[in-house]
Structure 1
Amino acid sequence: MATIKDVAKLAGVSIATVSNVLNGRRYVSPELRSAVLQAVRTLGYVPNGVAQSLRSRKTQTLGLIVPDITNPFFNGLVRVLERSARDRGYQMLLSNSEENAELEFDLALALASRQVDGLIVIPTQDSPEYLRKLKADGLPVVLLDRIGGEDDLDRVGVDNFQAARVGTEFLIRQGHREILLLVSTLELSNIRDRVEGYRQALAAAGIPQDPRWVVECGKDAPSLEAVLEAIRQRRPTAIFASTNRLSLLAIQAIRRLKLGFPEEISLLGFDDFEWSTLLEPYLSAVVQPIEALGFQAAQILLDRLKGDTSPPKRVLLACDLAGRQSVRRIG
């Protein structure tokens, strides 16, 4: 376990400088402050003051960290979580990590320092080490949506494997065999599970698999060019977009290429929102249970705060499928 001495040594500063950076009581130059914070992140160091605060008074506040507040899926979860907390007499403190692991770490420490009673995190990567340290220091933590890893943290998400398999099987039943799968990043286990569900559905239908039909578009700024190039080269009859942002990107690519939609190419999205039925063709989509996801995560955290000491929970919820105009039957 890292100590303040380890942080000082790695940053090349004195222990007093590290202490001043972390407690904010004295001025430290931007250069030294940056070096100290980088060392803290690298070592996963949680200051003793934070650990002590976790064992002190209750504040009736919960911390919530999301990776992108502009994403309608995460925005929907925020609304459910905030309402669930308020109904139980808690206030929710929201932070946006902007898909930045270092910022997420800083935000988590800041929320812990503010003595939140518990923390819900949609992480930028699978099972961050610092969250296990915060839990060991007495802070209840629940991982939501991105729940890869095996440790003692509570987790709530959907069955991504089954959701992608059901979606792919739906396209196959409509006569599609040339199905292009768009993914954000294979660094996240929930996306890898969606890829595996897609692959197993193809295998069960006797459709040959080619890794080039899985297109990684990027997590932070998905690449339109990657989608355009894949459509030009593969000429799919259907696209399965594995996130809501990629659904929009796929529609943009289809319009850019002036393809008949859905006459020449069909589209199945992941996540269902108001815009799905604003413009024709209405978007067919795998539908994640946002209300149930948020409620379950809040319930588990609040139960922990009431003294629940049962083994770590891993909740997987089923998705639905909304078949609409964007998927055309062929053959």
Structure 2
Amino acid sequence: MAEARRVTLKDIAKSLGVSVNTVSRALTGKDSVGEETRARIKAEADRLGYVPNSMARSLVLGSAMTLGLVITNPSNPFYAQLISTIEQRGRIHGYSLMLLVTEESPQGDQAAAETLLRWGVDGALVVPVQGDGEHWDRLNESGVPVVCLNRGFPSLELDFIGVDYERSAYEAALHLIDGGARTLCLLEEDLPISPVADRITGFRRALAESGISPTVDPVVAVPTRRQESLALPWEPADAYRLAQQIVRGRDLPDAIMVGNDYFALGVYRALTEASLHVADDVLVGGFGDHPFAAYLNPALTTVRLPAAEIGTSAVDLLLRRVKGDGSQERAEKQRLPARLVERASSRAGRSAST
């Protein structure tokens, strides 16, 4: 059986009796080709099954037409939406996407920077493993623009677009306090990253400004599973065991806030098994607005993160850097607001589960 041969511009030109140059100009949208000729060439290209050779096109344009995207864990619903938005936005502008996953490994993070440089991508969108970000700074200085997503490096001149975690956690905690809570605790993952630190800062600020002075530290660290597998980065069982300890303690808090909605699953179970009711006995607030949040009973009050807005803004900023528009400007640092979605879990005396 003969091996299928890739259809070329020469094949289309021969079929229509026109020059290869005319076919090339027609398919790349050049103005020097009449609309009737362009339509005829495109129709013949479709009939023959022509697929553009992106590598050849890159050589002509002097650009790979590819953006690198480095993510710590794509199973995170926030990052899954981010990937989808970035891929769609890039495709609108004619760019393909190279996805690399680091799984919170510093070695993987550095290897990702080296891979992007080796493959010659036009720019990089990066959720970095925080710590030493010098390899991303070097990539940026080498001519491959870098935009950090969700986590940044304040000491480095790298563009950053993320969530205003401090403000959103502050507002979520105030909402629970406004609902009557005077004793609160926060179940937060133990990963040393800026989103976690910012949420803790916002939570503590809300307590301080409300005149609440806990006698014990209200922040409880939940073990993270991010470095163990490509599965979901959070394990409700860990939050469940910690919530059990809280429930069995001498002083039951008025409200429990969690750093992500998966921890709320563990909190709900611990409260239910102790014959306590979410909202009536303990207010609960989440973070992330994951798909199941609205279907818990009672529905979970949580913070909805602006993943689509971050993805769109990041691609637009990166392409501006790639094209050299404003490339001499100082690095941009953008923190986009999140939205508190109020549901029944933060309303005492609830009469419904919506």
TM-score computed with the length of structure 2 as normaliser: 0.73
Q: Superposed, which structure 2 residues align to 1:147-166 within 5 Å?
A: 147-166=152-171
Check 1:82–1:254 CA distance in 2 against 1; reply closer, same or farther (3 A cut).
farther
Check 1:166–1:115 CA distance in 2 against 1; reply closer, same or farther (3 A cut).
same
- Structure-1 separation of matches of 2:195 and 2:158: 16
Given residue 113 of structure 2, which amino acid in structure 1 is its aligned partner? Answer: A
Shift of 1:112: 2.2
Check 1:259–1:152 CA distance in 2 against 1; reply closer, same or farther (3 A cut).
same
Deviations 1:100-124 (A, max 9, x none): 2212222232232111111111112
Given residue 79 of structure 1, which amino acid in structure 2 is its aligned partner? Answer: S
Larger Rg: 2
Matched, 1:250 2:232: no
Check 1:97–1:251 CA distance in 2 against 1; reply closer, same or farther (3 A cut).
farther
Shift of 1:246: 2.6
* Alignment equivalent of 2:337, drawn from 281, 294, 318: 318
Given residue 185 of structure 1, which amino acid in structure 2 is its aligned partner? Answer: D
* Alignment equivalent of 1:280, drawn from 297, 318, 334: 297
Matched, 1:268 2:285: yes
Look up the match of 1:232: 248
- Structure-1 separation of matches of 2:166 and 2:121: 34
RMSD of equivalent CA atoms: 2.0
3-state SS of 1:63 partner: strand
Shift of 1:165: 0.8
1:293 and 1:317 in contact (8 A); partners too: yes
TM-score computed with the length of structure 1 as normaliser: 0.77
- Structure-2 separation of matches of 1:287 and 1:235: 27
Identity, % of aligned pairs? 30
Check 1:318–1:105 CA distance in 2 against 1; reply closer, same or farther (3 A cut).
same
1:157 and 1:316 in contact (8 A); partners too: yes
- Structure-2 separation of matches of 1:66 and 1:262: 35
Look up the match of 1:214: 219
- Structure-2 separation of matches of 1:86 and 1:210: 53
3-state SS of 1:138 partner: coil
Q: Gaps (5+ residues) in structure 2?
A: 1-60, 226-233, 350-354
Shift of 1:251: 3.1
Q: Superposed, which structure 2 residues align to 1:100-139 within 5 Å?
A: 100-126=105-131, 128-139=133-144
Shift of 1:290: 1.4
- Structure-1 separation of matches of 2:134 and 2:119: 20
Shift of 1:195: 1.0
Shift of 1:67: 0.9
Look up the match of 2:186: 181
Look up the match of 2:173: 168
Q: Gaps (5+ residues) in structure 1?
A: 1-55
- Structure-2 separation of matches of 1:210 and 1:157: 33
Shift of 1:256: 4.7
- Structure-1 separation of matches of 2:266 and 2:101: 23
Shift of 1:186: 5.7
- Structure-2 separation of matches of 1:277 and 1:197: 24
- Structure-2 separation of matches of 1:60 and 1:303: 14
- Structure-1 separation of matches of 2:132 and 2:332: 14
Check 1:219–1:263 CA distance in 2 against 1; reply closer, same or farther (3 A cut).
same
Deviates more, 1:138-147 or 1:228-237: 228-237
3-state SS of 2:113 partner: helix
Check 1:88–1:247 CA distance in 2 against 1; reply closer, same or farther (3 A cut).
farther
1:240 and 1:269 in contact (8 A); partners too: yes
Check 1:183–1:196 CA distance in 2 against 1; reply closer, same or farther (3 A cut).
same
Deviates more, 1:266-275 or 1:231-240: 231-240
Given residue 331 of structure 2, which amino acid in structure 1 is its aligned partner? Answer: P
2:281 and 2:348 in contact (8 A); partners too: no
* Alignment equivalent of 1:305, drawn from 314, 318, 322: 322
